[in-house]
């Protein structure tokens, strides 16, 4: 069945992206080595990779592997962010991997997303708690605030000599009006990704959205120049925002923040974009259009336990058996359940957050 489940394909031409970025689709073969299958790979949310097969080969031969995934702390975390971090938690347990989580206060500062570094720091600590609450192994998880971590500057400087201004400018489409911190941040990002390889010889995989791929390509070029393992990547498609637009913290109606009240969640879900018809009568006659439906997409993440359940729901929608109110109620209940459980776990580790920061890097 793998690869044949076209639950999400109509929303974007991912094949074209795969070709353009030189990535490969996940195949069942490369994942045979993993003990379990993540439902979001089966459902096509994590759909492609670059060199993840080479990375898994090293793991298969008994090598220690690492995962790097950063968080830019400019706001409270929303559920879209947690999807990637929950996937990484799963991958950590599958591979017994060391996980490095840079909290990039410097990035948010130079890109003018926060007023002060102190503001970014406040979010960094709160975001760290949300990430740790997903169930990371504290023994193998290394969080750090980028501007406060000594080695970041040293390694960034060393790597910056392997970049040119024109390469960075072209890769990100920068204009001459950006501040130099934005340009230098490419070296900082490369330092985050390559540190586990430079320092410990661990191969690294980075789960990312495709829009972040320019950083990966620059970093892989640097890795080739300094002759270390080129970091692998796993590509995620983004869950669409509730309004149908991309999820963005600066447009609160598109996403559910972890600290949204039940009333706010209800309003956002009830206003969500669906593939439903104008009237219930039409819906019964013509059926809904789940490929267009954001509520269906979110149910895939927060409600359905597997592809089979997602497909059954899809059939009920298409046949007109379902109406959108039922799905919205289901989604609202699933989100409230998820957030309640999340807060329980967050509270239970509140006094232990240092365990995730204390490791010698
Ligand atoms: Fe979406 Fe459910 Fe409406 Fe179908 S019935 S379009 S799945 S909300």
For 257-303, the pLDDT digits (tens) are: 999 999 999 999 999 999 999 999 999 999 999 999 999 999 999 99
Give 159 or 19, the one with higher predicted confidence. Answer: 159
Give the closest residue to 37 by CA, choosing from 237, 314, 305. Answer: 305
Atom index in ligand 1 nearest the CA of residue 294 equals 1
Question: Is residue 288 lining ligand 1, measured as CB closer than 6 Å?
Answer: yes
Output the CA 314–ligand 1 centroid distance in Å: 8
Q: How far apart are CA 131 and CA 81, in angstroms?
A: 9
Q: φ, ψ for residue 12 (rounded to 5)?
A: -160, 155
Question: Is residue 290 lining ligand 1, measured as CB closer than 6 Å?
Answer: yes
Radius of gyration from C-alpha coordinates of the chain: 21
pLDDT at 115: 96
Model confidence pLDDT, tens digit, residues 40-83: 999 988 989 999 999 999 999 999 999 999 999 999 999 989 99
Domains and CATH numbers, the chain: 11-242 (3.40.50.620), 252-346 (1.10.240.10)
Output the CA 331–ligand 1 centroid distance in Å: 11
Model confidence pLDDT, tens digit, residues 199-233: 999 999 999 987 788 889 999 999 999 999 999 99
Q: How far apart are CA 270 and CA 334, in angstroms?
A: 14
Judge residue 308's burial from the number of C-beta atoms within 10 Å of its C-beta, 0-12 exposed, 13-18 middle, 19 or more buried: exposed
Question: Is residue 275 lining ligand 1, measured as CB closer than 6 Å?
Answer: yes
- Range with lowest mean pLDDT among 101-105, 112-116, 329-333, 357-361: 357-361
- Is the predicted pLDDT of residue 1 greater than 90, yes or no? no
Model confidence pLDDT, tens digit, residues 82-125: 999 999 999 999 999 999 999 999 999 999 999 999 999 999 99
Question: Is residue 310 lining ligand 1, measured as CB closer than 6 Å?
Answer: no
Atom index in ligand 1 nearest the CA of residue 317 equals 4
Output the CA 226–ligand 1 centroid distance in Å: 51
Atom index in ligand 1 nearest the CA of residue 296 equals 7
Q: Is 326 left (phi over 0), alpha (psi -120 to 50) or beta?
A: alpha
Output the CA 257–ligand 1 centroid distance in Å: 23
**What pTM did the predictor assign?**
0.91
Output the CA 311–ligand 1 centroid distance in Å: 12
Give the closest residue to 95 by CA, choosing from 53, 128, 66, 133. Answer: 66
Judge residue 62's burial from the number of C-beta atoms within 10 Å of its C-beta, 0-12 exposed, 13-18 middle, 19 or more buried: exposed
Model confidence pLDDT, tens digit, residues 135-186: 999 999 999 999 999 999 999 999 999 999 999 999 888 999 999 999 999 9
Contact 318, 293 (CB under 8 A): no
Question: Is residue 332 lining ligand 1, measured as CB closer than 6 Å?
Answer: no
- Is the predicted pLDDT of residue 2 greater than 70, yes or no? no
The residues facing 194 across adjacent strands are none
pLDDT at 209: 83
Confidence of residue 4 (pLDDT cuts 50, 70, 90): very low
Question: Is residue 72 lining ligand 1, measured as CB closer than 6 Å?
Answer: no
Output the CA 301–ligand 1 centroid distance in Å: 15
């Amino acid at each position: 069945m793998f690869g044949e489940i076209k639950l999400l394909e109509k929303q974007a031409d991912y094949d074209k992206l795969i070709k353009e970025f030189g990535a490969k689709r996940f195949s069942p073969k490369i994942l045979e080595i993993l003990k379990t299958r993540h439902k979001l790979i089966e459902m096509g949310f994590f759909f492609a990779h670059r060199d993840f097969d080479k990375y898994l080969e090293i793991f298969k031969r008994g090598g220690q592997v690492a995962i790097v995934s950063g968080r830019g702390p400019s706001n409270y975390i929303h559920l879209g962010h947690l999807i990637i971090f929950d996937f990484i938690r799963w991958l950590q347990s599958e591979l017994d991997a060391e996980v490095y989580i840079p909290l990039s206060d410097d990035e948010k500062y130079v890109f003018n997303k926060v007023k002060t570094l102190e503001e970014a720091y406040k979010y960094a600590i709160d975001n760290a708690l949300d990430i740790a609450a997903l169930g990371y192994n504290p023994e193998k998880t290394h969080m750090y605030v980028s501007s406060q971590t000594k080695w970041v500057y040293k390694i960034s400087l060393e790597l910056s000599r392997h970049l040119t201004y024109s390469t960075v400018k072209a890769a990100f489409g920068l204009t001459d009006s950006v501040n130099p911190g934005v340009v230098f941040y490419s070296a900082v990002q490369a330092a985050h990704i390559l540190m586990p390889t430079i320092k410990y010889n661990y191969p690294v995989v980075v789960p990312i959205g495709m829009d972040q791929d320019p950083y990966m390509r620059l970093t892989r070029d640097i890795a080739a120049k300094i002759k270390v393992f080129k970091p692998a990547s796993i590509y995620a498609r983004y869950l669409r925002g509730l309004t149908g637009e991309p999820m963005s913290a600066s447009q609160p109606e598109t996403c559910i923040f972890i600290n949204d009240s039940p009333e706010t969640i209800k309003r956002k879900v009830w206003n969500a974009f669906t593939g439903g018809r104008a009237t219930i009568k039409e819906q019964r006659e013509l059926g809904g259009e789940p490929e267009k439906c954001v509520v269906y997409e979110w149910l895939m993440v927060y409600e359905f336990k597997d592809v089979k359940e997602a497909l059954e729901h899809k059939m009920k929608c298409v046949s007109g058996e379902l109406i959108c109110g039922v799905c919205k109620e289901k989604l609202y209940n699933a989100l409230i359940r998820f957030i309640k459980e999340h807060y329980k776990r967050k509270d239970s580790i509140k006094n232990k957050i240092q365990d995730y920061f204390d490791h010698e890097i």
